[in-house]
Structure 1
């Protein structure tokens, strides 16, 4: 890629920063700020277990859990690496679609759920559409799963509303070939609280040391605040899933609530179904 072309692309991807949220996203921001956090601590997150080698598609939206991170509230996905994994390579793509993109950040936590490492958006690069996928943020990380067995993917609220400008594919081809630039519009994306990510995990070395034994608190040791947060989260998530006609997701949430002994979850599910069918 020649110097002029590189300068051209850099100008496009930087020029759109610090723009306001488009009107259609204001409601989402208000909704997120009003939503309760899922838990009272990282230990209360629902941790999705990963296999040694795994591929996961993560969709973050109003049905996702919410936590108040240092940069503000965000929907998030929480993952636990395989207990057999030692050194892992993690590749994360955040897809640009329908004028929006989720600007990812990553927190790695130790076995005691204490944050150890944070990778912000600066650790991700913009990849243009190619044979491997659409326009996207892409990040590649080498992680010691023995030291940091837990991973959280979220967005920094301060980044939402910024604009990302991607050159039109025809313009890229013309610049690469030296042909006259076509009269086409570049593609604009706004960073939002919602999005879809593809996560790929590859174990490069198995665990070589025993995992630390973490004592789990008895049920009665959970605080009343944690209980209220969990109940509120599951009740609201079930209601939203049913209202959005995502019945499978609502049933999955109901099953999780049963395992966690969340009171009233079945009643909330039935009431939500009855309310929807009565319309």
Structure 2
């Protein structure tokens, strides 16, 4: 008799558990963020976190995080800028499910002019159940070209707040993998909240290279130092030119004039012209 009662109680318990796991759950009310608390409305104004070529970050999006205005509402967020040394970058983004809530991430990637290149909503993230080493989480693996999309932002749409996700209990997952009987456990449910714990792993696969801007080389002019002409030398050429012209030896006068010009003797041309006119 007692055995029959135990079996009946077990069956009733299983039925109640099944009802609890399949019954609809109302959306939890979570207050939206007032617009007055928004710090930034354009992406160029966002505070950016500069990343190294390789990073492993555990961080919280909480009350201390900045608040931005997005096309789908206001949200706490974090914004990241890839290293200028990076080319192709492999990134893993995880949002940890803990204490009945989770930050349902949306990812925006932007070009160098802060234009949106791509958007990835939480529905595109994988759900990873807890194991011996990690907690249950949303997870997204993606590649970025740091030259084309150097910026990315993590936030949550206002419309998703209060929604929830129910995932298989880790014990059920292990039982399925091992082909064992399903344990009597309740699948956990996590509400989408303003805040949450996230992890970011970044690995640079290739480095960026740039051509240096080299200014044209200035033409080097080999300037010879000016010859300092002594007064006696100037007087000699002036007198010799006048004497040659006066004697009718114009070729000699012209030769002396060329020598005077080569020596940078100023006034030799005028002396020659005057001597010719005088003759």
Shorter chain as denominator, the TM-score bin is 0.5 to 0.7
Tell whether the 8 Å contact from 1:17 to 1:164 is kept in structure 2 after alignment: no
Aligned-residue Cα RMSD (Å) equals 2.3
Paired position in structure 2 for 1:277: none
Mapped to 2, the partners of 1:51 and 1:73 lie a distance apart of 28
1:200 — aligned with what?
A: 201
Q: How far apart in 1 are the matches of 2:192 and 2:63?
A: 16
Alignment of 1:17-166 (within 5 A): 19-21=26-28, 26=30, 29-30=31-32, 32-33=33-34, 35-166=36-167
TM-score between the two structures when normalised by the length of structure 1: 0.64
Paired with 1:149 and 1:113, the residues of 2 have a C-alpha distance of: 9
Judged with a 3 Å threshold, the aligned counterparts in structure 2 of structure 1 residues 16 and 99 are, in CA distance, closer, same or farther, namely farther
- Superimposed CA distance per residue, residues 230-276 of structure 1 (whole angstroms, 9 cap, x where no aligned partner): xxxxxxxxxxxxxxxxxxxxxxxxxxxxxxxxxxxxxxxxxxxxxxx
Structure 1 stretches lacking a partner, 5+ long: 1-14, 212-279
Q: CA deviation digits over 1:14-59, x for unaligned, max 9?
A: x79984116xxx3xx24x2355211242111111110000112221
Report the Cα distance in structure 2 between the residues aligned to 1:110 and 1:130, rounded to whole angstroms.
Answer: 37
CA displacement at 1:170 relative to structure 2? 2.1
Q: Which has the higher contact order (CA 8 A, sep 6+)?
A: 1
Residues 221-260 of structure 1: pairs in structure 2 closer than 5 A: none
Secondary structure, aligned partner of 2:200: strand
The answer to whether the 8 A contact 1:16-1:165 is kept is no
Instruction: Report the alpha carbon displacement of residue 104 of structure 1 after superposing the two structures with TM.
Output: 0.7
Alignment length (residue pairs) = 192
State the distance in 2 between where 1:57 and 1:129 align. 17
Closer/same/farther in 2, CA of residues 17 and 56 from structure 1, 3 Å limit: farther
Q: Sort the Cα spacing of 1:132 and 1:170 in 2 relative to 1 into closer, same or farther, 3 A.
A: closer
Q: Is the partner of 2:37 in helix, strand or coil?
A: coil
Q: 1:175 to 1:143 in 2, by over 3 A?
A: same
Q: Secondary structure at the match of 1:205?
A: coil
Structure 1 residues 17 and 38 mapped into 2: Cα distance closer, same or farther (>3 Å)?
A: farther
Q: 1:173: Cα distance to partner? A: 2.4
| Partner Cα distance (2:92, 2:115) in 1 | 23
What TM-score, normalized by structure 2, do the two folds share?
0.64
Once residues 158 and 16 of structure 1 are traced to their aligned partners in structure 2, the CA distance between those partners, rounded to angstroms, is 22
Task: Decide whether aligned partners of structure 1 residues 209 and 118 sit closer, same or farther in structure 2, where only a CA change above 3 A counts.
Answer: farther
Deviation of the 1:167 alpha carbon: 1.7
Structure whose CA Rg is larger = 2
